[in-house]
Structures are given as C-alpha cells and as structure tokens.
Structure 1
Amino acid sequence: MSGDPEIHEEHEGFEARLKAYEGRPAAATGTGRDPVNEPMIRHWCEAMGDTNPAYTGPDAIAPPTMLQAWTMAGLSRRPERTAAYDELLGLLDATGHDAVVATDCEQEYLRPLRPGDEITFDSVIESVSGRKTTKLGTGYFVTTRTDVRVGGELAGTHRFRILKYAPARRPRKRKEPEEPETRKEPEGRRPRPVVNRDNAGFWEGVARHELLIQRCTGCGTLRFPWLPGCNGCGSPDWETVEASGEGSVYSYVVMHHPSFPAFEPPYAVGLIELAEGVRIISNVVGVPYDKVRVGMPVRLEFRRYDDELVLPVFQGVTP
C-alpha cells in the first residue's frame, strides 16, 4: 500500500464501492432444468467410479457432490446473470482487473436429494475481498453463494470463488546481443490423442487438414465432439461436413500449472464456438495469452508438433 494519503483514500473508496455489491443477487432465481433423476445419477456414478449402494435401488439418493449439477444451465443456454453482478465485473474490468481465474468452490449439504425432487436455486454475491497480491497479479476475490432448495427447504449451498486481477508484468530476461529473440521450444513429446472407432474419422480428417463435424442424417443436427449417435433424435446414422474454420472464443482459461515438458506455460486454452454453431476445445495461438478475450474472432490452422502429430489450433484475430 502506498504511503500517499490521497492514493490510500482513493483505494479505500474503490473497495467500498466493491463491498456495496455484497448481498445483491448474482443470478436470477432459477429452476433445475430436470428433476433429480436416476439416469443422471447413474452417469455421474459411472464417471466417478462410485459404487456406493446408496445411489441405486428404490430408496436411492443422489450423490451429495452432484449438488451443482442440478442447477447447471447446459451448453445451449447461459445462466441469467443479474445487472448487479455484471456491474461488479464491469467495474473491475474498467480498472484494469480484466483477467479472471476460478480459484475454488465449497459445498454444504443439509438434506439428501432423491429422484423426483424439483430443484429451485438463487445466487447472491456473498463477498468481495480486499485487494490481494498473487503471483498472477493484484486483484479481488469475488465469492458467490448459490442456495439449492426443494419445496422451499434448503438442501445445500454451493460457494464459487473467482479472482479478478490485473496480470502482473513479468520482466523480460535480458539476452546477449548475439542471441536471437526466439521463444524457447518446449522439450518432450506431446501426449497422443486417444483414437477409437467413434472418433477415428475425425483424426483422419485432421491429418488431411480438415476439421470435420458430424451431422445427423435423421434430423440434420450438427454435433461435436464425435458421438456414435444423435442426442437429438437418437439416430445412429450420420455424415460429415467440413468446418469453415471461422469462429470466436466462447470461454477460455490460461494454464500456468502444472508444468509439463511438452508445454511452455502460460498459454491459453479456449472453448471455441465455430461458425457452424458447435464448440471445440483447443489452444488459442498467435496472440499473447493475456490478450485472449471472450468473443475474440479466431481462425483455424493446423500445426505440426512432430513427425506424427498434427493438431487443430485457433489463431487469434486482433483488430
């Protein structure tokens, strides 16, 4: 903290403005997209390898850790954030705290959820921390609390915390005059993709520098990643269409840790929304990791990493 009284007063005033958002709604009161149900419980348990008998049979309950799953909006729609929450994030963005990273979540379980339970939930801005200095940069922790209810009775609480921060400036290493300004290539061999009978056609297309999307021949729905059948109509029949390669960043994270010999952090990994409407996860390249933004236009390119491995990545397009 600076010893200058005016700067200190300005900072204290800014923190007071942030604190004023505490207790205000973060998202509109919502209803679970589906009632608590046995198929979702079964899928969850299979994915987690959880064989607890409490989650099967006529008296089954849902695994407590599924609490957030019953409130999620799904890929096709966004949760309805409030103007207050958008204002808070906008205030932080406007003051240079325009980077964000999810830090942790906490859950509290008050009663079991059972198949057939109808879920309602509401979310509030529970707290905004004072200014914190981290290795990523200086910023503020924002915690939202979502209360999950059944028939008006509180069933559990989910707290989610993010850090909105101004990225720290990292001093560039001084190089000798004769040394060229080149980025050191990471050492090691990149992991190979898992190729199976359901996705082999996709990787064959990548080898030809084609990004192929499945299209159901029953209902015409496009889908990605590749699946053996259509989620819309259940048809097992499909064909492929080649993506145009145009898209935008729908969401992204910056990977700092853990370090791995084949990668050189920090680097940006984006959820890319293609012009065709489906989404794919890949690296965002060609722009500094701290310049990647939601909505940034991107363009597909294919990058060779060794004699065997070619991967689709997305070049950021800056104005």
Structure 2
Amino acid sequence: MTLNTQWVLAARPVGAVKESDFRLIESPLRPLVEGEFRIEVLYLGVAAVMRGYMLNSEKFERPLEIGDVMHGRGVGRIVESRHKDWRVGEIVHGKMGWQRYAIADGSPYFLMFKVRQRVVPVSTALGVLGLTGFTSYLGLVDIGAVKAGDQVLVSGAAGGVGSNVGQIARNLGAEAVGIAGSPEKCALLINTLGYRAAINYKSDHVEQRIGELFPSGLDVLFDNVGGTTLDAGLAHLRRHARVVLCGAISQYIDGVEQPYALKNAFAIFKKMARMEAFFIYEMSERFEQAEAQLADWIAAGTLHYQEDILEGLEQMPTALIRLFEGRNVGKQLVRVTPDAR
C-alpha cells in the first residue's frame, strides 16, 4: 500500500510560527472517484498568509482546523486520472497542500493550471512564471500604473515578489529603490535585481534614507511589509502617487489583533494619491498576458529570477519560519521530489 506523507496543523501559533505547530503523518492513498486526478507534488511554496490560515480567525479565508493538512500551492505531475481534461503526465500548479500526493478535481477552488512547455525549471510556476510573478507584474503595471520615468520604492525587495518588481520597473523605463534586511541582500538588489539603490532597514534610518534617495518624492510605493515601513514611504509621496498594497508581512504576527495605526495616512489626501490593495486571484484574465511578458524578459536576459530551495518535504516548517525571519532570498520553495527539475 502506497502511503502519503503530510504535514498537518498540530497547534495554533502563539507569536512566531514554530516547528511544534506542525505534525508529520503518514496516511494511505485513497482511490480516486470519477472526475478526480492524483498529483505527485514536485515543489511547494510558502507564503506569509499561511500563518493566518493557522489561526482560528474569521479574518482569513477558511481557517484550518487542528489536524487539517496545511494549505499550500505546489507544482506537480499528474500520475493517475479519472478526469477527461486532466491527463497523466501533465505538469500542473495549484492548491496542493503540504503533502507528497494531492488530489484535485479541476474545480475553481483548486486554482489549477497546466504548465506549458518552457526552457526554465518547472519550479518557476510557483515563482516568476506563476502567481508570484503575476503579482509583481500586475501589481506594478495594473495597480501601480507605472510608466517610464517613475520613481518607485519597493519594500520586501529581496522576497519572491519584490525580487521581480525592481527589474520590471527598469524594463518599463522606471527607476526603483528596494528595502531589504542585510548588506548581502542590498548588494543583490543593486547588482542583479535591477534596483538603482537599496535601503537596509536594520541599519539605516528608513524614512531619512527614502528622503535622500527620492528628493522629489515617490511616484509608486509597492509595499509588501506594512507597518512602520509603509508609514515611512507615505511621508515621501509625490502628487498623484500610487500606493500598491501587496502584502503586510510585518503585521501577520503582531498586527492581526492590534494592527499598526498609520501616522502618515493624511499624506494620501494631501498629495491626492491613490492607495489600493489587490488580490491576485481576481486578476486571472490577465495571467496569460503577464506570463507571456515575463517569459519574454527572461528569454531576453532582462529578468533574473531568484529561488531559495530547501530539499525534502520535511523542510516545510523550516521554509515558513525562514520566510518570517527574512532569511530567504527570492521565492522560498521546497523540492518535495528529489529528481524534480
């Protein structure tokens, strides 16, 4: 009998996510019913919102119950199918969960997509050529309305989304400055990821450095962090600036019950700026165009993607903890199947 290895929720996190919040189990694979297909998971990604799913809170969509398999998007290979539209051997990405084998039925809940033939590794379906890359591109282009000559500030610039945004801005004729948390990450932003300058939030006075680097102010603030970092950027908006609310990782622990109160919110009125949050799943009609443009830039050598890959399903809790501690560079992934490429 083939067994499935799965990570389930063992305890609701109090403060930072810990290894003890998860439990690794094995369970037998159940037979498929008509309309289902089985996926061998090749790679899994982690995202900050996963901590929210672990809480018993209505603020997050469908919170997990104790004992539930952890939510997570993955890329995998169909190994068995009783669905006419999803065939054995096809590579797909979508909601799979923290497990070695997943079952899906092609319904909208699973947000399952087929991975088209490409010269880059299939892991990019979870990164630059998947929802992470689409978030970077559509957040900057559709929500941020970036244009040539714009001055762009990006927080969380060395993460999965941020590592793309600076390059996209450059490719569209704008200039970007990134905020990251170490000298090594700041060097990467400048030398590889398209940023003209970088701010180290652990050693620099962030608001002061923003003023020095943007003496005429910001056209686009692409925020992945929230809290005091967002506040610092708001203090330096130009007239008619656009503030893109992509994420708020600083608030996913301490800010869930007591959110940070912005001190510079009045700048949005004063500068006649626009601040907008977005949910990438609601922009699916734009995914094909976004993927095509990102793939073209990769082929042209003007978009370099960063992946931070841990080996083995047992590393899933570590991967999520690394994300919250800011230790990842680029998209944090786990290779579940050893020969996956």
Normalised-by-shorter TM-score class: under 0.3
Higher relative contact order, chain-length normalized (CA < 8 Å, sep 6+): 2
| Rg larger in structure | 1
Per the normalisation by structure 1, the TM-score is 0.25
